Structure 1
Amino acid sequence: MSPHVAIVTDSTASVPQPAMERHGIVAVPLTVVLGDQALEEGTEISARSLAAALQKRRPVTTSRPSPETFAAVYQRAAEAGASGIVSLHLSSELSGTYDAAVVAAKDAPVPVRVVDTGMIAMALGFCALAAAETAGVGGTLDESVAAAEKRAAGTTAYFYVDTLDFLRRGGRIGAAQALLGSALAVKPLLRLDGGRIEPLEKVRTASRAIARLEEIAVERAGTSRVDVAVHHLAAPERAAALAERLWERVPGLVDLHVSEVGAVIGAHTGPGLLGAVISPR
């Protein structure tokens, strides 16, 4: 076994499975609690079944992986020949996942650099891919971390939700609380800012909000080389249409990923979510 830097992330990253396998990235699952059932994201509950539960108003919560889960992943990576591990996770403002990874890293058999990317979904996924690509060409632990941090610094995520109710219930909206008073009269556009979900604009109709989301994504991408991800929950037609328009309108677009978010993100956004992640190369 030749020494290498292993890349670990979590299941909110939304990295396509072929890319995960190609780069050897390991995703530690978060848990969705549906009624009295605790289900691992990605293996025991799908986004589609989660959306159906939300539409039926069933109680849904989420929880982080345990430090013991991370410790086992780090141990397996070391046994597979890793000389170091970069562990990249969703914003600590949104989850305790980063904290659990930090606890486990203290007793890991090889050096582990735990990074709070401040991101989520493919905004996190692009960071994991950047680290994996650097490690794959012989990059050191520090170089792989730097590649991920550089990606995080340039990446932005914007999204539309049909209602703020799910974000409010989960306590994930931060300053977006200011929108609640008029939530029934507007369709909110949000952004990930400083690791938190913050209000961006208030638009009167869903069609106008989605059109505005497209404009914002195009403006942010500019003419530089960028990767783009379009996310949705139970809105595949919306996502496909937005992806097609971005492909036509973003001249420097390199890779375009279209995917349904996982059950953990979906639990806090609700069906109808449409998101755009812009990540300069």
Structure 2
Amino acid sequence: MRIPVEVVDSGQVAMGAGFAALAAAHAARSGASLDDVADAARAVAASATCVFTVDTLEFLRRGGRLSSAAAAVGRMLQVRPVLEIVAGEVAVVDKVRSTARAREAVLRRAGEAAEAMPGAACAVLTLGEGSYGDEAAQALPVGLPVVRTDVGAVLAVHAGPGALAVVAAALPEGIL
């Protein structure tokens, strides 16, 4: 038996891809065609904003995403990057001088993105001790559906303990 398959590059990570997969599954369960299922995934992925920060630059250095010199300077100055997935790539969108400020910046950027889209939902992802993730979920705009989960293993290697990511995406009604 042949099963039709269409590959969709979400250009996203974590729940940016996860929300796209949920939209595709919802469309498929509703009886949509293969093209419509793929389009549902693409639409949600295109709407997604994934903003994150790391508690230490060491894992970015080890993974080759940051030079040793930049990591050393960042460590001395306590610089924490605020990163975002832009056109399928990781981009630095801000640099702040503490983990607390970086987490605030992540929440602000993701919250603003969510408030600007219809049918928004958010996911809060953490790695390690999770109380700051619970606090982050409560700090998002009131009324938004929020999924709370851990950073996956592949991203954990690059982000390290203390990572916080927030994904906002426009979801069709009935997905969450």
Residues matched between the structures, number: 167
- Pair 241,132 (structure 1): closer, same or farther in 2 beyond 3 Å: same
1:277 counterpart residue number: 167
Q: Which AA in structure 2 matches 1:257?
A: V
Structure with the higher fraction of residues in strand conformation: 1
| 1:113 Cα deviation from its structure 2 partner | 0.8
| 1:274 Cα deviation from its structure 2 partner | 0.5
d(CA) in 2 for partners of 1:271 and 1:140? 41
Aligned pair partner of 1:128 in 21, 28, 31? 21
2:30 counterpart residue number: 137
d(CA) in 1 for partners of 2:108 and 2:32? 37
- Pair 239,147 (structure 1): closer, same or farther in 2 beyond 3 Å: same
- Pair 179,145 (structure 1): closer, same or farther in 2 beyond 3 Å: farther
1:147 aligns with 2:37: no
2:121 counterpart residue number: 227
| 1:238 Cα deviation from its structure 2 partner | 0.6
1:182 aligns with 2:76: no
d(CA) in 2 for partners of 1:280 and 1:200? 21
1:165 counterpart residue number: 58
Map Cα deviations across residues 171-210 of structure 1 (whole Å, 9 max, x no partner): 3x3xx66964632120111111121111111100111111
State the identity as a percent.
39
2:96 counterpart residue number: 203
Higher-Rg structure is 1
d(CA) in 2 for partners of 1:250 and 1:200? 25
Q: Which AA in structure 2 matches 1:229?
A: A
Q: Which ranges of structure 2 fall in alignment gaps of 5 or more residues?
A: 172-176
2:174 counterpart residue number: none
Map Cα deviations across residues 210-261 of structure 1 (whole Å, 9 max, x no partner): 1121111221112532010000000301100000111xx245x2x2100111
TM-score of the superposed pair, with normalisation by structure 2: 0.87
2:158 counterpart residue number: 268
Map Cα deviations across residues 82-134 of structure 1 (whole Å, 9 max, x no partner): xxxxxxxxxxxxxxxxxxxxxxxxxxx33221111111111110000000000
d(CA) in 2 for partners of 1:234 and 1:126? 23
More contact order relative to length (CA 8 Å, sep ≥ 6): 2
Tell me if structure 1 keeps the 8 A contact 2:10–2:17.
yes
Aligned pair partner of 2:136 in 242, 267, 270? 242
| 1:167 Cα deviation from its structure 2 partner | 2.1
TM-score of the superposed pair, with normalisation by structure 1: 0.56
Tell me if structure 1 keeps the 8 A contact 2:49–2:110.
no
d(CA) in 2 for partners of 1:139 and 1:225? 20
SS at match of 2:7: strand
